[in-house]
Structure 1
């Protein structure tokens, strides 16, 4: 390959010049006679690999058709055995869940908190809104540190300091003190919820990424309904302050598990063996990994994705769907169900079973079927489909979310003072829809900018949490002013106007926006 071609590849351009009778070209050239960049890069990598490197890869993976191509080094996460990758992913995904889990942990206990601290129920709900906001902004601080010093030390610091913050919440004598301790906990618990996308991209090849990205995203989603489901019992049986003690104990167990089972996934790929042993590099190498100097720009760089439509528009689409299909329902259940049905914390917690089930069902479409969707398209057209093809699944998610929100609000209004299960059926539909959109959007954005997967995750989390923070301040007012049925119309209009329209635009222009790095 000529140097000029390599230069073009590095800048995300297609280049001509490959013979049409080459076996790897069959069915892959587009209508302009250009070959997809991913194919040329893959061929160039294989052609420049040493025989020892090829033998190592074949022994490890049984094929050279890998994207990306791993180093000849056991410490490269792509070369880890599957059990090790999956164990680490479970730890990171659970850690990510603990962010939203911590935010939602007191949702079933708004009433006892308001009585204990002498504030209104709506003001008690601000203890959740505060955490939502910080979880969105704090990853901007953690991402560059995790890139320079590694994921492992950041995760360990995160858990120790979160433990301290939760103990402070348990001992807080006033609303202000509890708000401060909740803020401290939120600041430290959030890294895995944003840079978990980078961990997935660092460990799993492209053809399996949606499946494992789905595990991480579904855990983030499940944190919202699972916390009030569990802690509704805790608040009712032993008092809401035990919520914080349990969170602190959970952080301690996580820390211990990370020490033994959470290796470092940040790896500087060089194409050669490293002098440091793989075991030491994964578990005991706490020195700086990336020597690049830290700059102020590094802390705000993820926000630059606002200029990249293939990330910004899907982030907006996801945030609006998450706002109505997840945040609104989980925030309003503790308030509406106390007003309408006079439920206690335990009864309110039980309502979240429907959201948990809906999220798990939705992940089967958003994760596993998403990969199959792409593979079947590739077989049908005999070449790799564009990344935008994955987004077709998101429309099913939008429809489910809209239907679920409408059913939840309308059926809650119709129930009067007599509880029935119909609103919860709507909540399950909405949760399934949100999860389909979550996995689809995250996987699409990371596919477009895999090298910047950490920044992509931080940016999407930022957009989602900003909307999630604002929502609880105006949800009660709009529901009270125009009523629940009319509010479902507002939700439908906002999801269609933001989520659906944004996705249509990305599917229409996404290929040109991101540099045409794949073919239809």
Structure 2
């Protein structure tokens, strides 16, 4: 018996109800009557925030490790006897796997829980990174990178479910912002830090450092991590750290083929679909394009080494951090303000702030492209443009992701996976045509092309979905 059950609540009835398997990884805004210490709703605030931060950092490690090898492209090309373009595929295929792998992990977490899957994730990733440090061929290195991306990816897909379950509705954008920021910032932070590693202690230490981080994650999960999916009908007392590590089913349901394709059902919901596609297009050009082209452009134009190239990513990191300070808290404040002013608010109201994001992305990309094209010697202006674009990119990431999640809160984990699939698949395609585009039309022309695509494929659809969603929500309230 529950105290309350809002229409968007996450709930498990009794054993005979047998809810859909993916519902176990969704969440909502209700209260439980249970007094069990295993119920996440009864955890102290510090423990809830700790789980959210660990999930956010885990998500960051996926993009951090994929992009962290960027400063080593030249070294890989020389060591393996390949081109720099071929070396870049070591990152491209990781991007693809980070998008597709959650399709497998999400059903598994719904049956066996998130905690055991996460332990397997960091231990498996650590083993693959140790293998990466020992690789002597391109094929072997590709295998370790693909396996690493597959194993490290679970929180990239189900992070939205964890966060929506553990935080209050009025702080949802802020906490989702932690997750999106860490996931986004991993992309520039990887090459920034690993540029120093490549220059001073060697390429192999990239992988040793990755492995050490994975081991530290494992210890942290053992110390304060816990299962964030609660099923009162299948509760079992766990004794100590080792008790938590024992794999067990958390539901009587068995896996089926439909569970693995369930996130694609989000295509039926226009709000989720449009938000996901708009985010994918904008993220590709406002983040991935800058990061992938940075080593090539600055290396060829200014003869920068790995460390000097890595330093350019500071601009992107600063832009992401500042963008999140505005997007998450401001988005939550904006909705509270509207609710107090007119007595109600709806998820589509968040999209008003996305227009600031689109404006800064467009301004930043144009500044980056044209200033870098005309630069004869290095100057800070292109980096300022990259920072402005990154500021807007982080804003749109948090705002559009939060809007998508709130549009289908009862299936938050599946929404997160769908958004991630769209972002990673579209981002995976970029590095295959970026070099040709920049060569054919120049940096400035390419920036103009990217801005045009963002305006037509992201900005205009968001304007349309906000208009329709706002009218629909107001009509329902009336």
- What is the 5 A alignment of 1:181-192? 181-192=144-155
| 1:392/1:164 CA distance change after superposition, 3 Å | same
Alignment of 1:261 with 2:221, yes or no, is: no
| 1:127/1:517 CA distance change after superposition, 3 Å | farther
Match of 1:318 among 270, 279, 304: 279
Alignment of 1:407 with 2:367, yes or no, is: yes
Which residue pairs with 2:446 in the alignment? 487
CA contact (8 A) 1:511 1:518 kept: no
Give the Cα separation in 1 of the matches to 2:48 and 2:199: 39
| 1:306/1:517 CA distance change after superposition, 3 Å | farther
Residue 264 of structure 1 aligns to a residue whose secondary structure is coil
- What is the 5 A alignment of 1:25-424? 67-73=29-35, 74-268=37-231, 276-277=236-237, 283=244, 286-383=247-344, 385-416=345-376, 418-424=377-383
CA contact (8 A) 1:163 1:249 kept: yes
Report Cα offsets for 1:375-418 as digits up to 9, x if no partner: 000000023x11100111111111111111111111110113x1
Give the Cα separation in 2 of the matches to 1:104 and 1:291: 40
CA shift at 1:203, angstroms?
0.7
Which residue pairs with 1:3 in the alignment? none
- What is the 5 A alignment of 1:395-474? 395-416=355-376, 418-474=377-433
CA shift at 1:333, angstroms?
0.3
Please report the RMSD computed on the Cα atoms of aligned residues, expressed in angstroms: 2.2
CA contact (8 A) 1:68 1:206 kept: no
Give the Cα separation in 2 of the matches to 1:236 and 1:99: 23
CA contact (8 A) 1:75 1:278 kept: no
| 1:169/1:448 CA distance change after superposition, 3 Å | same
Which residue pairs with 1:14 in the alignment? none
CA contact (8 A) 2:116 2:245 kept: no
CA shift at 1:153, angstroms?
0.5
Residue 425 of structure 1 aligns to a residue whose secondary structure is helix
Gaps of 5+ in 2: 12-27
| 1:254/1:275 CA distance change after superposition, 3 Å | closer
Bigger radius of gyration among the two: 1
Which residue pairs with 1:61 in the alignment? none
CA shift at 1:285, angstroms?
6.4
Residue 457 of structure 1 aligns to a residue whose secondary structure is helix
CA contact (8 A) 2:192 2:311 kept: yes
Residue 419 of structure 1 aligns to a residue whose secondary structure is coil
Give the Cα separation in 2 of the matches to 1:149 and 1:280: 19
CA shift at 1:519, angstroms?
3.8
Gaps of 5+ in 1: 1-8, 11-36, 46-65
Give the Cα separation in 1 of the matches to 2:87 and 2:210: 19
Give the Cα separation in 2 of the matches to 1:517 and 1:79: 36
Residue 249 of structure 2 aligns to a residue whose secondary structure is coil
Give the Cα separation in 2 of the matches to 1:463 and 1:517: 31
CA contact (8 A) 1:98 1:189 kept: yes
Give the Cα separation in 1 of the matches to 2:416 and 2:423: 11
Give the Cα separation in 2 of the matches to 1:205 and 1:280: 29
- What TM-score do you get using the length of structure 1 for normalisation? 0.84
The worse-fitting range, judged by mean Cα deviation, of 472-481 and 292-301 is: 292-301
Report Cα offsets for 1:123-168 as digits up to 9, x if no partner: 1111100100111111100000011111100100001110111111
Give the Cα separation in 1 of the matches to 2:114 and 2:51: 11
CA contact (8 A) 1:97 1:222 kept: yes
Give the Cα separation in 1 of the matches to 2:188 and 2:220: 24
Tell me the number of residue pairs that the alignment of Structure 1 and Structure 2 aligns. 456
Give the Cα separation in 2 of the matches to 1:518 and 1:255: 47
Give the Cα separation in 2 of the matches to 1:205 and 1:261: 21
Report Cα offsets for 1:236-266 as digits up to 9, x if no partner: 1111111011101110110111011111101
Residue 239 of structure 1 aligns to a residue whose secondary structure is coil
Report Cα offsets for 1:455-501 as digits up to 9, x if no partner: 11111000000011000000000110011111111111111111111
Give the Cα separation in 1 of the matches to 2:477 and 2:246: 41
CA contact (8 A) 1:78 1:204 kept: no
